[in-house]
Amino acid sequence: MATLAQAPSRTTPGAGPVSPRTAASVRHLGPNWYAAVMGTAIVANAGAALPLTAPGLRTAYQVVWALSALMLITLLAARTVHWVRHGDQARRHLLDPTVAPFYGCLAMALLAVGGGTLAVGRDLIGEPAALAADIVLWTLGTVVGLVGAATIPYLMVTRHRIEPGSATPVWILPLVAPMVSAALGPALIPHLPAGQWRLALLLACYALFGISLLATLLVLPLVLNRLIHHGPLPLALTPTLFLVLGPLGQSTTAVNNLADAATGVVDTSYAHAMSAFAVLYGVPVTGFALLWLAIATAMVVRAFRGGMGFAMTWWGFTFPIGTCVTGAAGLARHTGLDAFHWLSVGLFAVLVTAVAVAGTRTASGLAHGRLLAPPQPVRA
């Protein structure tokens, strides 16, 4: 895992500032930085899903969405420079099994910003522009996500050298991207022509749901096996345990959003079945998500006591929690149970706190030139 020290672009405790020239370099700007975009955008998306009507909330979501869009544009430009000027490093990232899975973050960043554009950005730029932007970002994000979901496992089998007991939750990242497409695609269905177009997108989203779910079910046992037989993750990687919540919360969000979109697209009997499936699937999965949240939180507390400092992996606390917010909000809509409403609100408060902390520490690390410094060894 030593090479992951800079792939997630983290710092080690006590590391001093580096020169401005090093700070300005994008050579060590890895694909993991898209996690900051995802984690920021999910605040707007999750907030829009909550039945909260306090004054100023909608404006706050719009500000966060605008920030995430600006971050995405900036990062896309910086990563383009990275590929042009540091192609050797970019290719090295693809061939590194600890870095390559982070390419899944690119697709999810595109999708998250696109979803936020239609959900809250339309208030600022108008619905036609928001719809056009979401269509482009959802399509691009879905294509990139599918390519990554196939390519990264292929590279892991044919090119990467995977050491026994090296599985981490990071392996899930390229597999979750199609689930994000499945969760955000239903918002586009009402804007398509009635009939075959709407039906095609609805069923395509269910197919994306299946791709991600089944692939994730193959990987999760490897992660659990690694934890049980080889002990806790290195300190800086401990926050990645929260990544397991991503496919759990996002799949719950997907089935609920698909059930909402099914009315008028499929026969009434199918629409009712999809609504029932949203509850029968979502409730047990949410229960497991809460169990994993408790385990992951305990491991993070242990890591803090062991001296875990800030790392870019802290963004792993954000997007997965956000998916649990939208998943719980979806269950609240379909069950009418107040407990799910309060669960979504409580998790949203955790999400906002996590984003605020990770964002502040990231800004400070950039200002002091630490986060773009050459990689440091992982602290076990």
Amino acid 377: pLDDT: 55
- With a pLDDT cut of 90, the percent of the chain lying above it is 80
Residue 26 belongs to some domain of the structure:
yes
Is residue 372, in this structure, part of any structural domain at all? Answer: no
Total number of domains constituting the chain: 1
- Alpha-carbon distances of 304 from 88, 230, 243, 310, 367, rounded to whole Å: 35, 20, 18, 10, 24
Structure tokens at 351: 């999400």
Residue 282 lies in a domain: yes
Task: Classify residue 380: in a domain, yes or no.
Answer: no
Please choose, from the candidates 257, 258, 340, 309, the residue with its C-alpha nearest in 3D space to the C-alpha of residue 8.
309
Q: Is residue 373 part of a domain?
A: no
**pLDDT score recorded for residue 75:** 95
Rounded to whole angstroms, how far apart are CA atoms 259 and 89? 44
Q: Determine the structural domain holding residue 325 and report its residue range.
A: 2-367
Q: Is residue 375 part of a domain?
A: no
Rounded Cα–Cα distance for residues 291 and 319 (Å): 18
CB 213 within 8 A of CB 249: no
266 located within any domain: yes
Q: Is residue 233 part of a domain?
A: yes
Maximum C-alpha span of the chain: 65
Question: What's this model's pTM, rounded to 2 decimal places?
Answer: 0.90
Alpha-carbon gap, residue 39 to 108, rounded angstroms: 10
CATH assignment at residue 15:
1.50.10.150
- pLDDT tens, residue by residue, 203-223: 999 999 999 999 999 999 999
- Alpha carbon of 273 to those of 194, 270, 277, 292: distances in Å? 21, 5, 6, 28
Judge contact between 61 and 44, C-beta under 8 A: yes
Predicted confidence pLDDT, tens digits, the chain (380 residues): 333 334 333 333 333 343 444 334 788 888 999 999 999 999 999 999 998 888 899 999 999 999 999 999 999 999 999 888 888 888 888 989 989 999 999 999 999 999 999 999 999 999 999 999 999 999 999 999 999 999 999 999 999 988 888 899 999 999 999 999 999 999 999 999 999 999 999 999 999 999 999 999 999 999 999 999 999 999 999 999 999 999 999 999 999 999 999 999 999 999 999 999 999 999 999 999 999 999 999 999 999 999 999 999 999 999 999 999 999 999 999 999 999 999 999 999 999 999 999 999 999 988 888 888 776 655 54
Task: Report DSSP letters for 293-310, one per residue.
Answer: HHHHHHHHHHHHHTT---
Residue 59 CA neighbour count, 13 Å, CB half: 3
- Alpha-helical runs (H) found in 51-126: 57-85, 87-94, 104-116, 122-125
List, for residues 7-23, the tens digit of each pLDDT value: 333 333 333 343 444 33
